[in-house]
Amino acid sequence: MENITENNTPEQNMPAVGQNSNLSKNPTPWIVLAVVIIVAAAGYWWWQTTNEANAPELMVSPSPTPAFDQDTQGDIEEIEAVTTSDLDAEFQSIDQGINEL
């Protein structure tokens, strides 16, 4: 155990609030901390640039225009041939089919 006498108290061994400690006199920990931060920042920058370089480019190709085949062209002609001016005439055949049921 530590011998504490009246002349040698733990409070006397500690630096006062305004006094500099050995840590502030010795710049080595600050230099090490600065080097670690710089290396970490450089490593992060390098990692980001290599990831961007390895990323595949997105190729946007134009969508091809659909080609109309004969079936589709025939359907379009049938739709255009429908007359909507006389709806009663259009539904007359449907009404006859329903009445036969």
Distance from C-alpha of 37 to C-alpha of 14, rounded to nearest angstrom: 31
Quote the pTM value.
0.33
Low-confidence ranges of the chain (pLDDT < 70): 1-24, 53-58, 60, 65-71, 83-84
Q: What are the domain boundaries of the chain?
A: 12-53, 72-100
Percent of the chain with pLDDT over 90: 17
Distance from C-alpha of 87 to C-alpha of 68, rounded to nearest angstrom: 30
How do residues 43-53 score in pLDDT, each as one tens digit?
A: 999 998 887 76
